[in-house]
Structure 1
Amino acid sequence: MSRKPIIGKCRLCGEIKKLTFEHVPPETTFNNYSVRILSGEEVIKQVADPNNPPWDFSDTKGTIQQRGRGGYYLCGDCNSKTGQWYVPEYSKFVHIVHSALQEVKGKEFGALGIKMKGIKPLSIFKQIMTLFCDINEGMMGDNSLKDYLLNKTSTNFKRERYHLYMHIHSGSVERMNGIMVQFASGVGLITLSEISTYPVGFALYIDKPEAYNPEGVEITIFSQFNYDDEIELEIIIPKLESNIFFSGDYRTKEEIENAIQESKDN
């Protein structure tokens, strides 16, 4: 029996069309295996249980997704265009990071220095932005992203509004979180969305306060290149742990356990 078509609003072009499954992150970047998807309700229930560490979801049922992480976000046309324009360069970029990680496997490190040759920054950047539009309905309230991402050569990007940070993914929890608003002491409200899976994580900050300095390395500069620009790049990427559901929280398990104990003692 053929699968019933899924009709909905494409998260890029905004038209009501037949939607196709899109891997987030792309299938070619280590997203081709079954995963267990947890709902926000399941995660909150688990985190709120004082008897379990906030990273232990072994007893949480969730939903098994055989084809990898992703969903029916884009119409076939948008999925095909962005897949052809951006995914090959993004995949190349991620596999360079993976290869560098294999060289230091079993070693302790806080950051990874990588030399890259022949990469196209704009395609990489646009693929990452496409992923964030996938997991956030309505292009994060910014219709200009539609023209930016569906015109492969466009460099008309709001760099004053968006700041993209990258890190080496580590820890027990993979995160794929839509926009969250958090309070940072001494700074105020922080608005961000995060995608963090092996081997790299990305945090997109929206209207970031100048006083706030996120962890990770900022790669917003990738948006300034032209589509055909091919460069050599030397970059130092910090390794950050994801052990809890909330975006931007890179505490180690020990730091989280200490915070929990301190809360109990008070």
Structure 2
Amino acid sequence: MSVGICRICGERKPLTFEHIPPRATGNDHTVKVYTAYREHGDGGLNADAITRSMFGDGDLDDLKYRQSQRGMGVETICRDCNSYLGVNYVQPFVGLFDDVRQSATNVLAEIGGRKGQAVGLDLRGFPPLAFFKQVVSNFCATADGMLDCKDFLLDRENTDFPERYRLHMFIVPDLGAYKLMTGWMAYLFKGGGACCLACVEYPPFGFVLYDRGRSSSLPDRAGDITELSRCPWGYRPEGMTLCLPVVDAGDRQPYLWGRYPDAV
């Protein structure tokens, strides 16, 4: 167990392993965790490997990796924060994850990742705020510099999600796709400026978090679920549907996700 700065509370403590997605989703077996660093040579970043791993352009055979016996995750959160997240947010997330994954085989097979498709998720009786906070905690664990989310996450009734962020959610049609955790990235525009974002993907869900404070402009995309952060704790809507865009099977670039908002 390593000691470091917890990415939730900001205190220096022993760090525990945070499963992403939660272990209860089935994330409890041996996995290969790839990095974007060269195995040989100067050990620097391998831009070609990054492109292939994110955009599905080729295989990952020559990428450096380590085996994790515990599933996919990171060791960046202290035991106290990990426990609080687990008690309050994990079960609602796992419930929706399982429901969508079980139905996704048939639904997404029909859609086939075609452009212009979306899936409606019925959230009747479902606690939106707990789900939203679980997703945000995943980003805090994988993308550094989000200590401004501390109060939002460690007080389950807090609905003051920092205005700095915008969170988008997508359906991933390829259930066999790699899990993806990027940390912060900058998408550079040809005319100047940039969009700062981070991505977490674990089929059938994909999420992109935009940092308004470090972006000159943000894309106009479907799938914005930021308003779920304003729902009161314990609120279970009698009728609420999320219309989520399906990520095109050939489009692995997170900045472009959500371009096709037409519902089915």
* Aligned partner letter, 2:225: I
**Alignment partners' CA distance in 1, 2:10 and 2:50:** 35
SS in 1 for 2:111: coil
Q: How high is the sequence identity, in percent, across the aligned residues?
A: 30
The answer on 1:75 being equivalent to 2:82 is no
Q: 1 or 2, which has the higher strand percentage?
A: 1
Distance 1:173 1:20, change over 3 A: closer
Change (3 A) 1:57 1:16: same
2:160 to 132, 156, 161: 156
Which of 193, 197, 200 in structure 1 is aligned with 2:202?
197
TM-score w.r.t. length of structure 2: 0.80
Segments of structure 1 that go 5 or more residues without pairing to the other structure are: 252-266
User: Which position in structure 1 is the counterpart of 2:27?
Assistant: 31
Matches within 5 A, 1:28-177: 28-42=24-38, 44-46=47-49, 54-104=57-107, 106-109=109-112, 110-139=117-146, 143-159=147-163, 161-171=164-174, 172-177=177-182
Residue 44 of structure 1, CA deviation: 2.6
1:221 aligns with 2:224: no
Provide closer, same or farther for how the CA distance between residues 163 and 55 of structure 1 changes in structure 2, counting only shifts above 3 A. Answer: farther
Q: CA RMSD in A?
A: 2.7
Q: Tell me the number of residue pairs that the alignment of Structure 1 and Structure 2 aligns.
A: 239
Which structure is larger by alpha-carbon Rg, 1 or 2? 1
Give yes or no for contact 2:36–2:50 (8 Å, CA) kept in 1. Answer: no
Residue 17 of structure 1: how far off its partner (Å)? 1.3
Tell me, what secondary structure is at the counterpart of 1:119? coil
Q: Is the 8 A contact 2:3 2:13 kept in 1?
A: yes
TM normalised by structure 1 equals 0.79
Distance 2:173 2:189 in 1: 23
Cα deviation code 1:185-234 (max 9, x no counterpart): 578411100001111000001116666213x4110010011111111321
Q: Deviation at 1:14? A: 1.3
Residues 247/235 of structure 1: CA separation in 2 closer, same or farther (3 Å cut): closer
Instruction: Give the 3-state SS of the residue equivalent to 1:217 in structure 2.
Output: coil
